[in-house]
Amino acid sequence: KNEVEQSPQNLTAQEGEFITINCSYSVGISALHWLQQHPGGGIVSLFMLSSGKKKHGRLIATINIQEKHSSLHITASHPRDSAVYICAVRLVGGGADGLTFGKGTHLIIQP
């Protein structure tokens, strides 16, 4: 079982819809990251969370430490939001100092 699980794996929605992508993890973490990878392959860091909620424009990220769960929401979705969204965690107490990644959620927003 992967330490970081994302759902759904693939998501197709219409422009304007509210999007939710989920991330669950099974290990102790010090921080959780949401990343965006565009079709060209480049990776952009969207958020880093250790508690609570963060908002940037139409993007909202939340984390529940007790439930080991995070969500990424996109409001008023747009075709340019089409990308792979990746959840990654920084482990606590041993393991690699780098990030451990989920497999990503492929999001397509249709006009």
For the window 9-48, what string marks contact with other proteins as x by the rule CB under 8 A? ---------------------xx-x-x-----xxxxx--x
Q: Is 101 in the site for other proteins (CB under 8 A)?
A: yes
Helix (H, G, I), strand (E, B) or coil at 11: strand
Rule CB under 8 A: is residue 93 a binding residue for other proteins? no
Report the residue number, 39 or 111, with the smaller CB distance to other proteins. Answer: 39
Structure tokens at 8: 């759904």
CB atoms within 10 A of CB 65: 14
Among 9, 12, 26, 50, binds other proteins (CB under 8 A): 50
Does 67 sit near other proteins (CB under 8 A)?
Answer: no
- Beta carbons within 10 angstroms of residue 74's beta carbon: 20
Alpha-carbon gap, residue 109 to 88, rounded angstroms = 23
Size of the site for other proteins (CB under 8 A): 24
57 counts as binding other proteins under rule CB under 8 A: no
Burial (Cβ within 10 Å: 0-12, 13-18, ≥19) of residue 82:
middle
